[in-house]
Structure 1
Amino acid sequence: MSIIYVLIPVAIIIIAAAIGIFFWAVKSNQFEDLDRQGYNILFDDDLPPEEKKLAEERKKLLNDRD
């Protein structure tokens, strides 16, 4: 029975830490762009040079926008 007096405060501390980490992640825009990483697997690395140049320019524009 006395272990409950230890487990409840430990659980509250863990939950408070998890909530704090979640709000930090939201505040620092960690969830802003969830689609980009999923689409990266679809792009080939063996593009012709002119298409690579266009892709790099698009990537730079997207990064500058963030």
Structure 2
Amino acid sequence: MNILYMLIPLGLVLLGVAIWAFMWAVRSGQFDDLEGPAHRILMDDDEPKQPDNPLQDKDK
């Protein structure tokens, strides 16, 4: 029975922290664009990257 005096407030504190973390994530825009990163990986880059000096690589 004595453990309930500790577990109930601890549970309420953890619930408060979880609600605060969720509200912070919503306010900071963490859930604004959920599909963008998934589609971005499928898009090609604008231009393929070329080495700065291709002759230097052949000399090695």
Is the structural similarity TM-score above 0.5?
A: yes
Q: Comparing both structures, which one devotes a greater share of its residues to helix?
A: 1
Q: Is residue 2:7 matched to residue 1:15?
A: no
Q: Work out the number of aligned pairs and report it.
A: 47
Task: Write out per-residue CA displacement over residues 7-55 of structure 1, whole angstroms, 9 at most, x where no aligned residue.
Answer: 000000000000001111111111100001111232345xxxxxx15xx
Listed as ranges, the matches of 1:42-57 within 5 Å are 42-44=42-44, 52=46
Ranges of 4+ aligned residues in structure 1 off by more than 2 Å: none
Partner of 1:36: 36
- What is the rounded CA distance, in whole Å, between the counterparts of 2:27 and 2:41 in structure 1? 27
Distance 1:4 1:44 in 2: 57
Larger Rg: 2
The share of aligned pairs that are identical, in percent, is: 45
User: Please, which runs of 5 or more residues in structure 2 have no aligned partner?
Assistant: 48-60
TM-score normalised per structure 1: 0.62
TM-score by length of 2: 0.68
Specify the code of the residue in structure 2 equivalent to 1:41: I
